[in-house]
Structure formats: structure tokens, C-alpha cells
Amino acid sequence: MGVSHIALAVKDIRATHRFYTEAMGFELVKTEIVPKEGGFARHVFYSTGSDDDQLMAFWDLSNDPSADPYTTDICRDLGLDVLTNHLAFTAADLDDLAAKRRRWLDLGLTVLEIDHGWIVSIYTEDPDGIAVEFATLTSPLTAADAREALELLENEDPPMSTDEPSITFHVPESA
């Protein structure tokens, strides 16, 4: 079962559109205009690669007079590390991940790369301060991994992971 879509409110729909089309490579596929008290809201949908599902959606509330001032940073506003709540998308393989990293750097974005030993991820932030990730599995998940996951979930005093991830910061040349 896949995810149909995730929807978030944003402050600047044009900056969001540029980021998710240029930096993420998503395609705008649908916009709904929803009436609001004395105004309207835009609900914009982007394909993340699937032909008919697995969308990312955003709410533009700039023309909705009933929308109270709101924050869109889903971590910092809660006092959490920026990577706690994040949006992760699939990269096909390490070459695809490298191409996505290069695209972000070419757009002037700083990129955090983490090799967790079983998955490699790159992270940056969107215009609303939300961390986005592309990731690719480098080791298939097994039934043994699932058993261990359940044991660690249920353990009241679980052992710390022993593998230290490899962390690299990539800064754009223009910085």
C-alpha cells in the first residue's frame, strides 16, 4: 500500500512551486480551488514519480481570510531538530542520488549526506524550513531486520546502534 498524498500548508506557493519542480524534480499535476470564508485556498498536487498516485500536496492559504497567522516549519516551531519531522522520497540508486545531490548544489542548496550503512540519504530544506530527503537502500531489508526491529521497538532499555553513520556536508560552490 502506497501513500496517496501528504498535504502541508505553505507561506509562499510560488517559492514552493519553484522548489518542488526545480530542486525536487516533481511535476505539478492538479490544482483545486476551494472556497473559504470570503476567499479561497489553492490545493496544489505534485507527482513524485508515479503515474497515478504518490503525490505531494500543498495548501496556499494566502487568499483565505479565515486562516490565522500560522507557521509552516514543522520542527523548529516545536523546538525539535530540523531533521526530526521530514519528507523522504526514493532515489532509484546511488547514481540517481548523486544526480539529485548535484541538482541541489547547482541550485545553491546546502546538502547533508548520511550513509546509515543500509540506506544512503541526502537532505536539504524547502522554502518553509521543512527538511526533505532523497534516499536509496544499499542493503535489502530482510525478515531478520523486521524481527530485530520489533524486538528493539518493544525493549524498554534497548541497546544503542553500534554502527556510526558516515556524515558529509556538501556546500554549493557559490556559498
In whole angstroms, give the CA distance from residue 16 to residue 58: 8
Q: What pLDDT sits at residue 116?
A: 94
Domains 5-60 and 76-170 belong to one CATH topology: yes
In whole angstroms, give the CA distance from residue 37 to residue 4: 28
* 171 closest CA partner among 94, 83, 86, 104: 104
pTM tops 0.95, yes or no: no
Kindly give the confidence (pLDDT) of every residue in the chain, 175 residues in length, as a single tens digit, with 9 standing for 90 and above: 677 889 999 999 999 999 999 999 999 999 999 998 888 999 999 999 876 778 999 999 988 888 878 888 889 888 999 999 999 999 999 999 999 999 999 999 999 999 999 999 999 999 999 999 999 999 999 999 999 999 999 999 999 888 889 999 999 987 6
Task: Answer for the pair 116, 161: CB distance below 8 angstroms, yes or no.
Answer: no
In whole angstroms, give the CA distance from residue 110 to residue 53: 29
Number of residues in the chain: 175
Joined together, the cell numbers standing for residue 174 give 557559490
| Full 3-state SS string of 66-112 | CCCCCCCCCCHHHCCCCCCCEEEEECCCHHHHHHHHHHHHHCCCCEE
Q: What pLDDT sits at residue 175?
A: 65
* 108 closest CA partner among 175, 168, 24: 175
Domain boundaries, the chain: 5-60, 76-170
Q: Which residues pair with 71 in a beta bridge?
A: none
148, amino acid identity? E
Radius of gyration of the chain (CA): 18
- Determine the longest span between alpha carbons in the chain, in angstroms: 56
State the CATH architecture for 76-170. Answer: Roll (3.10)
What fold characterizes domain 5-60?
Answer: 2,3-Dihydroxybiphenyl 1,2-Dioxygenase; domain 1 (3.10.180)
Sign of CA dihedral 132, 26, 5, 150: negative
